[in-house]
Amino acid sequence: MLASLPVLHILYIVATTGENVISNDLAYYANTIDQIWNDEYAWQNILRDTSIGSHVMLVTVLVRLALAHLSHWNAYAELYFGVGLFIIRTLLIYWAISAPIPTPSRWLILPLLTALVFSTVQINTFTFGETSLALGLVIAITSLGIWGVTRFPSCWLGATIAAVSSLLAAWSWGAGLVTFPMLALGMLLLGYRLRHYLVLAASFGLAITPYLIYVFPSTGSDIGFSEFLHFSPWVNAIGYPFTLGEELIAVGIFGIGLSGLILLGIGLCLMIQNRQKLRIASVPALMVICFGALTAWQVSIARDGLAPWYLTLFMEFWIGLAGFAAMMLLMSSSLQKITKAWAWATLVWLAFLYAMSGWTYTDKIFSHYHLYSRSPAAAACLRSYSTTPTYCEERLFQGGHGDYQAVIDLGRVLEKNQLSVFSPHQKQTLQGDFGLANVVADPTVRWVEGDRDTPQPWYSYKRLNIQIPNSHSATWTVSLPQHLEQATLRSAVRLAHNATGAADVSLTRLIENEPPEILWSSQLDPSDGWQPLRIPLTRYFGQEVTLQFSTGSSIAGGEDADAVFRYPHLNLTLEAAGEPTPLSAPLPSNLDFSPRFPSLSVQDWRADLSDSTSWQIEGLDPVPGKSKWAVLPNAQPKLILANSPQLLLADYTYLYVRLAASAAIHPKVLRATLELDDEHLTSTTITIPLLQDDQEHGYTYKLALSEIPKTAHLIGLSIEPLHLHPRVQRPEEQRQNWLDLYEVRLLARHRSRSPEKASL
């Protein structure tokens, strides 16, 4: 029971965060899966096509294909399968380490192993399919090799298991290559004969071949010999699992890593002094330690930084050290006192580090890592790829590099094959659609979590509730598919935790030119708990349905009677796939040729770009005789507003920018920074990927998405019409480095949308 708690904790986190989204690195596999699904794939290229970056991932891709076939490429299928792989590896290592320990004491090792294997510092591994599956396969297959070598010592079966597991690990992820020296060390300590090593050597020759042909030539290497001997990065990598993530990467990380190496050195000296039986029994734990130390060395010389999923590999060092200490403590009561003292000191130190790293996980998730790319917002952006605004790219691909076409390409493949968010069983969420044009809400509406209604950003990976103040509402327009078997709106409602009076709460369907249809309504009291909502919508198949979530005026004198709707979402079941729907040309809703584009108005605030004294201009030079600006070499083009506009941003709905830029610059992304007078949020940055042509376009960004406080004023504005991040490719000819900025506006609130392009 005790051993299952860390496993259940991780499973709970996985099950209650994010949505079924294929994003980030997983997009690399979309075209291959598309070709295989449609019998167009040339299987002789499988090794080449699964050599990705610095990894050969044949085994991982084949497992992914099987899971995708069984689940319509459901992201959770990979996540749960990955957790299952880590459970298998825990059992294999437990059997290997505990085999020589007397039966009554053996079970004590299992809770120790599960606590480390399923610690929350590894949450970035468990919550993204690429890391969970690839690392799970490497770790589980490597553990199989350790178990086989120690379970069948000095025989052909043990050597065969070592050879096969090493090959499979190396073809699952790049870290699998270090399985070979690790298992060779174990075979040496267990007295394997020379002929057994020949099997392992043959396996290594086969495993390294695709790396030599496809990986090393394409990735290149500028690693000098001296870098192989750098001590500090290696020690930092070993200490990384017990820091709280990147924010504390330089706080105590070297000392933690060094403490592990010192404890290991003392333990090895004590082991050597003891009898032969104890030395043989230590081999499984030493092999695990070796794997963790070798992967830490591998990553420290091949990577500039330590991504959070790498610590799953480095944690192997500490798992092995914990098993080593526990094994020595439980093996016999006749050990020297100093050996027992070392074992206790090691386990106490590990317990302290484990407690320091924490049981929580939210402090270990960062916005530029993968869980955010599985958020409800990411799911909505992918599902609506043909009309989604260009700035949705940053929800699916962390980094915001401006390649909006990547969203289109991924969405088309998934929709064509009914995969992920386009599977027969779909979920559409109000939280995710909040970033799109089909949700309209007052600035006072906010997203919250928990019983205390703690505010959270709408793009959070958490499944949030929407809090609607009294006398306000939020509308959600959804298009129900024609071939629909079932559609159900699921939610629950209560009053906010600080409500002081009752209120009328309702859910209605708005119908143009007709009275609204009440789907649910009730008068709620602060003492009422969650009232479940389950509204069937199947009868509206093939229609566009507008749902309004409303809180009426408070009753009995209560001024704060906000309603909270719990994670409103639609569960959709579609009929079996028939003929594929023709794919339409993308119409991003934040571009001026979209039917959903907002109209311009004389009430808008308009920046005067013609007055050069109003702007501080950097990295741009006027082109003589033309309206264009030349983008200067080695400079970031930027316009900074000289005067403070002092605008209440709650009075405006969108930032609007109209410009054109050279198609030879790729990718293109605009970045605007709004300076605010709010003490909690002094500035916010907006990123808008641009189309890859040289035509004039108007772009918008929905200001509500920036979580700007409703009392904040705009006191400064800077615009980078072309944000030249390191991945931007610029033409060598200076005449092709140009842009033309025509207009910058803030669009005023309380105006209707127009299907026509405004000409103001």
Using alpha carbons, list the distances in angstroms from residue 348 to 235, 239, 354, 601.
Answer: 21, 16, 10, 68
Q: Which residues of 620-636 are buried (b: 16+ CB within 10 A; e: fewer)?
A: beeeeeeebbbbeeeee
Nearest-CA neighbor of 631 among 720, 747, 536, 515? 720
Cα separation, 203 vs 275, in Å, equals 34
Using alpha carbons, list the distances in angstroms from residue 62 to 66, 210, 309, 416.
Answer: 6, 16, 22, 21
Structure confidence at residue 532 (pLDDT): 96
Q: What is the strand order of the sheet 502-511 is part of?
A: 439-441, 472-479, 544-555, 502-511, 514-524
Structure confidence at residue 365 (pLDDT): 78
Q: Is the N-terminal amide bond of 443 cis, ω within 30° of 0? A: no
Query: What is the residue type of 272?
Result: I
Structure confidence at residue 245 (pLDDT): 47
Nearest-CA neighbor of 491 among 473, 528, 466? 466
49: which residues sit within 8 A by CB, 6+ positions away?
A: 32
SS3 260: helix
Cα separation, 71 vs 22, in Å, equals 13
455: which residues sit within 8 A by CB, 6+ positions away?
A: 446, 447, 448
Cα separation, 238 vs 297, in Å, equals 9
Place of tokens 């119908």: 511
Nearest-CA neighbor of 478 among 518, 433, 515? 433
Cα separation, 222 vs 64, in Å, equals 33
> Can you read off the two tokens belonging to residue 158?
């043990």
Say what the alpha-carbon torsion angle 135, 136, 138, 142 is, to the nearest 10 degrees: 140
Place of tokens 């009914």: 418
| Mean pLDDT for back-to-back runs of 10 residues, the chain (760 residues) | 91 96 92 92 93 93 96 96 97 94 86 95 93 96 97 94 97 96 95 94 96 83 55 91 57 85 94 79 95 94 85 96 92 76 94 83 75 94 94 85 89 94 95 93 90 93 95 94 92 92 92 91 91 94 94 68 95 77 79 91 91 87 76 89 91 95 92 94 94 94 91 94 87 86 90 37
Other beta carbons within 10 angstroms of residue 571's beta carbon come to 15
Structure confidence at residue 14 (pLDDT): 96
Q: Let me know: does 644 contact 716? Beta carbons within 8 Å.
A: yes
Other beta carbons within 10 angstroms of residue 486's beta carbon come to 13
Using alpha carbons, list the distances in angstroms from residue 246 to 66, 249, 350, 497.
Answer: 34, 5, 21, 35
> Can you read off the two tokens belonging to residue 472?
């306000």
429: which residues sit within 8 A by CB, 6+ positions away?
A: 19, 376, 379, 380, 463, 567, 568, 569, 570
Evaluated on CA atoms 398, 399, 404, 409, the torsion sign reads negative
Q: Is the N-terminal amide bond of 622 cis, ω within 30° of 0? A: no
